[in-house]
Amino acid sequence: MSKNQDLFERAQRVIPGGVNSPVRAFRAVGGTPRFIKRGEGAYIIDAEGRRYIDYIGSWGPMILGHGHPAVLEAVTAAAREGFSFGAPTEREIELAEEILKLVPSMEQVRLVSSGTEATMSAIRLARGATGRPKFIKFEGCYHGHTDALLVKAGSGLATFGHPTSAGVTPGAAQDTLVLEYNNVAQLEEAFAQHGAELACVIVEPIAGNMNFVRASLPFMQALRELCSRHGALLIFDEVMTGFRVGLASAQGHYAGLIPGFKPDISVFGKVIGGGMPLAAFGASHEIMKHLAPLGGVYQAGTLSGNPVATACGLATLREIQKPGFFEALSAKTQRLVDGLVGVARDNGVPFSADCQGGMFGFFLMPELPQNYQTVMSTDKERFNRFFHAMLDAGVYLAPALYEAGFVSAAHSEADIAATLAAARTSLK
């Protein structure tokens, strides 16, 4: 028995499914999960000493790669000062100032420990600020495992969601309206029917949990216009895209396409923690004043603004602001995506791919999908074979066809070339 198999058997005896987050179990692709011992730059090394080119990057945070010297120095110094105090620190202010400097749509920000906390709190804030109960989410967008968000669409055009997890009651989901991503007509009908009751719309501007599907320009314009017209708040879930698709995040990308565009509430995570548990949500003073201790919307957390996590996040944000960082990262990611498309074409395999900044996705279909239902039509078994062939070749992709991939500043041209060589063999 291999070391990974042995660890997985041990884990299953003491941890449900052997993992602490479901996708890690390899249930979607089959086989044995790799238990990671350490990371070095663009690579991760498993319990058997096998090295992989890492395109997961802890699902997005490791934009600098593993073990960046400036981040290690900042974290080590912070750890020496203390792990947690349950009291304010100056570094919390510094990180908040850094985030706000880069995100002009926000005037204040609240730090929390996870993306789930941040999205849950953002929706509660929207409800408290508007005095309305209902909200819209989109099928295929993941915003954490809060009860009201673990729902799917019903059979009608604009029906309310039904729980997709045991333990979630119909009552918890009764105010959640689930629509199809990139469907403008459905969005307009939902606002026509429920506009006066809608507190907010929450959306991934580039959905990373149905692989990589970007919001179309007409869809984004309709979202902003309908929310403004009906008094609902537009929440951008940038847990994944924030400071990953560009220094101005996804909202900066859309602001460049739609004059004056900005969301009302923004949610960040992953990159702003640099690999440590840290997330945030923010908005204007007018909206944020509803949060306790100023207002009646309660939110709290013992480890919020953790001093070691803020040190890690602050060091990461300062590194990615260096001249040329995102230009180089974007070009590298584009070369990877273009190369994969070319290799697939040479092998006669239906294939499409897209990317933005250091985030990418690919589909074993000739055209890029625009919604969850199309994503679900992907040839799952073919993807699984490709995944394992790439893994055997030393390339670690997401172990599910519904997850985006991530390139880091540590990936070299040699890493990209090795990945394309592995893909050329694997796609055969």
CB environment 369-381: b (16+ within 10 A), e (fewer): bbbbebbeebeee
Cα 109-250-161 angle, rounded to 5 deg: 80
| Bridge pairing between strands 395-396 and 359-363 | unpaired
Pick from 280, 313, 263: nearest CA to 108: 280
CA–CA dist 74, 317 (Å, integer): 12
Active site residue 237: yes
3-state DSSP assignment of residue 15 = coil
Catalytic residue from among 137, 262, 270, 332: 270
CA–CA dist 357, 367 (Å, integer): 21
152's enclosing H/E stretch is strand 151-152
Structure tokens at 115: 């993306």
CA–CA dist 84, 89 (Å, integer): 10
Active site residue 338: no
Catalytic residue from among 46, 54, 175, 237: 237
Catalytic residue from among 43, 52, 55, 142: 142
166 CB contacts (<8 Å, ≥6 apart)? none
CB environment 81-105: b (16+ within 10 A), e (fewer): eeeeeeeebebbebbbebbbebbeb
CA–CA dist 92, 232 (Å, integer): 30
269 CB contacts (<8 Å, ≥6 apart)? 114, 115, 118, 239, 240, 242, 278, 279, 280
Please name the residue that has the structure tokens 């090295």: 51
Active site residue 142: yes
Known catalytic residues? Answer: 142, 237, 270
